[in-house]
Amino acid sequence: MQSNDYSTVNGFAEASFTEKKSEFIGYIKHVETNDEAVDFINEIRAKHRKATHNVYAYILRDGCTSRYSDDGEPQGTAGVPVLDVLQKEGLTDICCVVTRYFGGILLGGGGLVRAYSHSAKIAVDAAERLIMCRCFPINITVDYNLYGKISYVLPEFEVKILDTDFAADVTLKMLVKTDFAESLKEKLTDITNGNILFEQLDECFENFA
């Protein structure tokens, strides 16, 4: 992937498990600002006011921010393991909250680390993964007799086709990763002998998963 690409999750997911009568519920959500992360943490806390702990960790592209809280668990046994999972999964613009209802049996430091790590991991696994790539939306229009040539070479450039309109001519709406945009246009111009129209829109981040 390009250095500017990043992985995150789509929307919201949750998963839970029980360890020695303690229930752990992992929640994960796509967030893009500190305020969004804090709002999500507060939302989960409000939902589980009677929980023993609401541990969290989040990572943001904005300001390269990462924060965590053990929320009363022994230092280093809760928030850090959750943060470690998010980092090892390569995720950003992400917030994970793990709610614990204590079941009366102590888990010990190692047990807590494993439980909070597992809670974060199953929440991540429950979510839809997005791979956000820096790209250009590009629309191309060609005659029908050139459509086959165009279709044949597009996979070389890892484009993402959004729509194909078969009208008087064929128009393809696609996303092209920034690194490939110029070489793609050169290739298509070459194989069509210039008989192609390009409309390139503003650069953006879009999902290529």
What's residue 131's pLDDT?
Answer: 94
Q: Does domain 6-126 have CATH number 3.40.50.2000?
A: no
Helix (H, G, I), strand (E, B), or coil: what is residue 36? helix
Give the torsion sign (CA, 76, 78, 81, 82): negative
Residue 2 phi, psi dihedral angles, 5° rounding: -65, 155
pTM of the model: 0.83
Strand partners for 141: 171, 197
The fold for domain 132-207 equals: Alpha-Beta Plaits (3.30.70)
Give, in order, the Cα–Cα distances in Å from 8 to each of 37, 83, 93. Answer: 14, 14, 6
Distances (CA, A) of 101 to 49, 54, 55, 75, 105: 10, 9, 11, 18, 11
Q: Encode the chain (209 residues) as per-residue pLDDT tens digits.
A: 345 789 999 999 999 999 999 999 999 999 999 999 999 999 999 999 999 999 999 999 988 899 999 999 999 999 999 999 999 999 999 999 999 999 988 898 999 999 999 999 999 999 999 999 999 999 999 999 999 999 999 999 999 999 999 999 999 999 999 999 999 999 999 999 999 999 999 999 999 87
- Listed by start position, the domains of the chain span 6-126, 132-207
Angle between helices 108-126 and 79-88 (to 10 degrees): 40
- Supply 80's token pair: 């850090």
Is there a common fold for 6-126 and 132-207?
A: no
